[in-house]
Chain A
């Protein structure tokens, strides 16, 4: 029987430690892992809980991240709770198996500490790895600070393991800015947290010898499409369960989470849409601009990156006051608009207000995104709003040295 871990009412935890405590409180049965900066402390934490009797689980240090996710799939099919952590190159290496985990409908939880993808090699935070996972069939939740990393990791087990969902879930946090930033975190007591997460309910358990099951069969053109369509439907339908679990978490803790978070949007004329720790930066900038210059700035932040909340994004953007929106993508888009720009534009296209939408690529490889820059971007949106058309190229770069990069222009209002 695992020992209880003494916790203060308020702890000072960084994002990594917060996530590892959530894995402990969920009493994860198997963690198969491979270390990579900046996510390593999460699995180190799990290992230390096992070593000191705080978890009755198995910590399997495998030989690669591909092995880590492979091990998670094997362990999950064997009917217990499974989680791991990774970043960047490790995430890229496990990509093959991410698709297999979701196709096999195994509710693994992967805590991803977002980091840039090489080349050039870089250990700092951007969203390249998170974006790489966006077609993998996983639910992707995004935490903006250590408290959220803790809270959402607990919620992830509930969501993924829900019998109507049974899909793997990623909980993202930003490398270093969140993972290594110590902040006040209010944890739940062990028994309260475990009760919220609940006992693991095995489905198609390989260790139930009364019912032998075959996992990972092959499907060709006669069956594959229905399987993938049903999997997609399950992912889309998981929105209801996500809302339920977040609402239950609010009743338990008072901490409210939504698939789309918004700040100062009630009467906003200009907005930034962003992910991760930049959301807090943008929200602070919006608050200051309102106070200092009377610019009605707001922030929209998808909490749930997959399934993408087209419904709530549309709702949030569909207000007559809103004129200009900037979507901030922290990942090199590789010859396209940023993913957030594409998704948000699609959601906004059917709104009555049809705000002008532009795209910034920013923060690559951990380049700082400060309040002043957020303010500048808000003001640029205000200029679009005042002019009645987009006054800059649609896609620009924020915070990069050299010539001012810009792609595609429009005079349309």
Chain B
């Protein structure tokens, strides 16, 4: 993934449910979970990569294993309409400064909604097998379809 914005910070490091089952001291009083480390007053004005997520934040976990098919993004066709961003149920479309940058494969479950709502011709997002390499998928991208008259 060549998004550039999500490379360094703590994220997607743990398979959901595979975290170490430590014992007694890790149990928080009253089952309370804090979402961030440090002062998070400004979170509404911070991008994910600017935030200090706590280990308890599901942002730091991954559900990638749920997927059997995945959306692949083709930058060359995309018009940055943000349909995929607004309707993604898994906060997995990475948009910055009104531009679609790519897919967050740690949080994407492969539902395919983004592909369905993509308005370009051909679509700028298509579903491929999870095993398919990105370059391979892009190489197989279909040509522009002629409009079917109903």
Contact between A and B in the complex (any CB pair below 8 Å): yes
Chain A interface (Cβ < 8 Å from any Cβ of B): 103-106, 166, 203-204, 209-217, 219, 222-223, 226-227, 230, 234
* Chain B positions 7-45 with a Cβ under 8 Å from a chain A Cβ: 21, 23-24, 27, 29-36, 39-41, 43
Q: How far is the CA of A223 from the CA of B21 in the complex (A)?
A: 8
A217 touching B40 in the complex, CB below 8 Å, given contacts A223-B27, A226-B24, A227-B27: no
A103 touching B36 in the complex, CB below 8 Å, given contacts A209-B41, A226-B24: no
Q: Which residue of B23, B27, B31, B43 contacts A212 across the interface (Cβ within 8 Å)?
A: B43
Interface of B is mostly: loop
Q: Which residue of A106, A166, A212, A215 contacts B36 across the interface (Cβ within 8 Å)?
A: A212
Contact A214 B32 (CB under 8 A): yes
A residues within 8 A CB of B36?
211-212
Contact B31 A204 (CB under 8 A): no
**Contact size range, B:** 10 to 19
Chain A, residue nearest B19 (CB): A222
Chain B, residue nearest A206 (CB): B32
B residues within 8 A CB of A203?
29
A217 touching B24 in the complex, CB below 8 Å, given contacts A210-B39, A211-B40, A212-B40: no
Contact B30 A166 (CB under 8 A): yes
A103 CB, min distance to chain B CBs, angstroms: 7
Q: Which residue of B21, B35, B43 contacts A222 across the interface (Cβ within 8 Å)?
A: B21
Chain B, residue nearest A218 (CB): B31
Contact B24 A213 (CB under 8 A): no
Q: How far is the CA of A105 from the CA of B30 in the complex (A)?
A: 5
Contact B40 A210 (CB under 8 A): yes
18 A/B residue pairs, CB under 8 Å, sorted by A = A104-B31, A105-B29, A105-B30, A105-B32, A166-B30, A204-B32, A210-B40, A211-B39, A212-B35, A212-B36, A212-B40, A213-B33, A214-B32, A214-B35, A217-B31, A227-B27, A230-B29, A234-B29
Contact A213 B31 (CB under 8 A): no
A166 touching B29 in the complex, CB below 8 Å, given contacts A212-B43, A226-B24, A230-B24: yes
B128 CB, min distance to chain A CBs, angstroms: 34
Q: How far is the CA of A222 from the CA of B16 in the complex (A)?
A: 13
Contact A226 B35 (CB under 8 A): no
A189 CB, min distance to chain B CBs, angstroms: 34
Contact A219 B31 (CB under 8 A): yes
* Chain B positions 94-142 with a Cβ under 8 Å from a chain A Cβ: none
| Residue of A213, A215, A234 with most chain B CB atoms under a 10 A cut-off | A213
| Residue of B31, B32, B40, B56 with most chain A CB atoms under a 10 A cut-off | B31
Contact B30 A214 (CB under 8 A): no
A223 CB, min distance to chain B CBs, angstroms: 7
B19 CB, min distance to chain A CBs, angstroms: 10
Chain A, residue nearest B30 (CB): A105
A residues within 8 A CB of B29?
105, 166, 203, 230, 234
Q: How far is the CA of A204 from the CA of B35 in the complex (A)?
A: 11
Q: How far is the CA of A304 from the CA of B150 in the complex (A)?
A: 79
A97 CB, min distance to chain B CBs, angstroms: 15
Q: How far is the CA of A216 from the CA of B31 in the complex (A)?
A: 6
B42 CB, min distance to chain A CBs, angstroms: 9
A206 CB, min distance to chain B CBs, angstroms: 10
Q: How far is the CA of A105 from the CA of B24 in the complex (A)?
A: 17
Nearest 6 Cβ contacts at the A-B interface:
A105-B30, A214-B33, A210-B41, A204-B32, A226-B27, A212-B35
A residues within 8 A CB of B56?
214
A103 touching B30 in the complex, CB below 8 Å, given contacts A210-B40, A212-B43: yes
B20 CB, min distance to chain A CBs, angstroms: 11
B2 CB, min distance to chain A CBs, angstroms: 31
Contact B33 A227 (CB under 8 A): no
A212 touching B24 in the complex, CB below 8 Å, given contacts A105-B29, A230-B29: no
Chain B, residue nearest A224 (CB): B31
* Chain B positions 33-64 with a Cβ under 8 Å from a chain A Cβ: 33-36, 39-41, 43, 56
Q: How far is the CA of A176 from the CA of B29 in the complex (A)?
A: 38
Q: How far is the CA of A213 from the CA of B34 in the complex (A)?
A: 4
B residues within 8 A CB of A234?
29
Q: How far is the CA of A234 from the CA of B21 in the complex (A)?
A: 22
Contact B43 A213 (CB under 8 A): no
A residues within 8 A CB of B43?
212
Contact B27 A217 (CB under 8 A): no
B residues within 8 A CB of A219?
31
Contact B34 A226 (CB under 8 A): no
Q: Which residue of A103, A210, A211 contacts B31 across the interface (Cβ within 8 Å)?
A: A103
Chain B, residue nearest A166 (CB): B29
Q: How far is the CA of A227 from the CA of B32 in the complex (A)?
A: 11
